[in-house]
Structure 1
Amino acid sequence: MRSSVEIHNIVTGRTRVVWQTEKLVEAPNFSRDGRFLVINGDGVLYRLALAGGGPERIDTGFAVQCNNDHGLSPDGRLLVVSDKVEFGKSAIYVLPAEGGAPRLVTPNLPSYWHGWSPDGETLAYCGIRGDAFDIYTIPVEGGAELRLTFGEGRNDGPDYSPDGAWIYFNSSRTGLMQIWRVRPDGSEPTRITDSPYGDWFPHPSPDGKHLLVLSYDGDVFDHPRDLDVRLRLMDMDGGNARILFELFGGQGTMNVPNWSPDGSEFAFVRYAPA
């Protein structure tokens, strides 16, 4: 076993295995009806039914060098992917959720998708412009990107609160990577975590009650795979933080939104040494 796709229930505290494979797969998203997960592996995306049966490939057209920054629209009709076939750098595309031809959202590269606004109209992503890793948003139909951070350390992993009032992200502006949030217009940057860990990929629960965070040891740089990490749950303001469990993982474990529609569970990937 190389990759174990699993689901943890925060109500019961139990974890169940959905599927295991000798291949490297990453970054599960829940479908809007809760019946399947979307995962990536070998540059393409798959639909993994929770009822069993194994993964089914999603037709992403020419986009066959997808990374693990992908997700479904709030209404479940569209799929967003980050792929580098066309330009040699990660670019953001949208396509029908059932599969189809990708449509480029922004020509500004590289860009790595991470969040979709609750109204379905806006995408949030990490863009690298020069040497600066910053948070941007853009209408899903394309247009001008809006820059929300301005090189205050490395900024990555944006995801919207369910009411659309905040965009949560991770930033190294204080030294260690920690969780912050900002208004969609870029105002009111607010620090959420003050931990000894390297905190990455904050995902607010759909009911607005919890924030899920992937935490590395404090001396780890970036977000590599195959390390001992922990998944932490906290209030939306960072209060009442606790470790749910530790696992061997990191990159690919939960880079993108991974909550079930009702907010009782989340999906993740656990790894075994390569």
Structure 2
Amino acid sequence: MAEGPAGPRVLVPGQRCEVWVGSITDGSRELVFASGELLLEAPNWTPGNAALVLNGSGALWTLDLGTGSLDRLPITGLPDLNNDHVLGPTGTRIYVSANDGHIYEAGLAGGPATRITAEDGFFHFLHGVSPDGKQLAYVGIEAGNFSAPGRIMTMPVDGGPPASVDTGRGHSDGPEYSPDGRWLYFNTEAFTSRPGHAQIARVRPGGGTPERLTDSGTVDWFPHLSPDGALASYLEFPPGTVGHPADLPVKIVTVSVQDWSTPLHSWSLFGGQGTLNVNSWSPDSTRFACVAYPVG
């Protein structure tokens, strides 16, 4: 979830935006784009491993991994976007959250966008599309009150009444469907009475008792499963971090979904908000993309 309906983020003086691709097979990292002018966030991977889709300056951009070229997507009828956007299962449609609090759908090739969410008293922050392309999972913030806990909610992609998924007390965020559609993975403050101690969990899309997956002293956000369902990545903030702010020393951690307590790899970087808000696994499950924001 983006932190409130603010305008597009910008780089501070002396800061750079760096887009990286990490390999899960050997733990290596490759810098694929850098800029001292444009702040990009939250990479999605397109089919065929060819390009990344990121947001920046309120719009969507494609980064060609073969040529390194960055091009603005010609989508019309959208307010400024935040960093919550997900490709549909066919890779031809994209679902995005905008700073007006609504979710929109558009073609990845461009053209007019369509608003999906209704004026229901909530701000809507998209995180997941079901594997069959029929449902969206998002965080609902009632009345735009960002001091109140976020709720995990689902709704049909063509609009219609939303459903609330009970995840217990405290803020929950980042709901994302597993590749088989049987689970929603998310982070939550439900397992502690202390603020600033989010952990990873999962729950059935229809509700039920959440299952805790991480039990750490760090603050763990945004779980993303690889397309083959075997691996997961998440963002680790320092202990006591409240929310998922920008400009902190963080780690990207990868694990087997069978053992969340034993990291396979971890990558340290300066970032946080915008680094790994959405699923950025490559379609072949061998790589993931992320964004760092080093200063100086």
Measured in 2, the distance between the counterparts of 1:169 and 1:238 equals: 16
| Equivalent residue runs for 1:30-49 within 5 Å | 30-49=45-64
Q: Return 130-139 or 162-171, whichever deviates more.
A: 130-139
Measured in 2, the distance between the counterparts of 1:5 and 1:256 equals: 14
Determine if contact 2:33/2:68 at 8 Å carries over to the other structure.
no
Determine if contact 1:149/1:155 at 8 Å carries over to the other structure.
no
Secondary structure of the residue that 1:222 maps to in structure 2?
coil
Measured in 2, the distance between the counterparts of 1:64 and 1:90 equals: 10
Structure 1's consecutive aligned runs of 4 or more residues displaced over 2 angstroms after TM superposition are 237-241
Measured in 1, the distance between the counterparts of 2:142 and 2:258 equals: 30
Shift of 1:60: 2.5
Determine if contact 2:167/2:190 at 8 Å carries over to the other structure.
no
Q: Return 150-159 or 67-76, whichever deviates more.
A: 150-159
| Equivalent residue runs for 1:28-107 within 5 Å | 28-84=43-99, 89-107=100-118
Secondary structure of the residue that 2:275 maps to in structure 1?
coil
Measured in 1, the distance between the counterparts of 2:237 and 2:24 equals: 21
Measured in 1, the distance between the counterparts of 2:91 and 2:191 equals: 37
Is 1:18 the counterpart of 2:35 in the alignment? no
TM-score normalized by structure 2? Answer: 0.87
Secondary structure of the residue that 2:278 maps to in structure 1?
coil
| Equivalent residue runs for 1:108-147 within 5 Å | 108=120, 109-130=122-143, 131-147=148-164
Q: In the alignment, which of 261, 271, 282 is matched to residue 249 of structure 1?
A: 271
Is 1:267 the counterpart of 2:289 in the alignment? yes
Q: Deviations over 1:179-209 (max 9, x none)?
A: 1100010123111110111100000111111
Measured in 2, the distance between the counterparts of 1:213 and 1:192 equals: 12
Unaligned runs of 5+ in 2: 1-14
Letter in 2 for 1:206: P
Measured in 2, the distance between the counterparts of 1:20 and 1:259 equals: 20
Determine if contact 2:32/2:68 at 8 Å carries over to the other structure.
no
Q: Deviations over 1:101-156 (max 9, x none)?
A: 11111123300100111111111111112533111111111101111036610010
Q: Percent identity?
A: 40
Secondary structure of the residue that 1:254 maps to in structure 2?
coil
Shift of 1:237: 4.6
Query: How many residue pairs are counted as aligned between the two chains?
Result: 270
Measured in 1, the distance between the counterparts of 2:190 and 2:211 equals: 12
Letter in 2 for 1:111: H
Determine if contact 2:167/2:210 at 8 Å carries over to the other structure.
no
Q: Deviations over 1:2-41 (max 9, x none)?
A: 1111100100211111111112110000002211000011
TM-score normalized by structure 1? Answer: 0.94
| Equivalent residue runs for 1:215-254 within 5 Å | 215-242=236-263, 243-254=265-276
Measured in 2, the distance between the counterparts of 1:60 and 1:218 equals: 40
Q: In the alignment, which of 9, 14, 20 is matched to residue 6 of structure 1?
A: 20
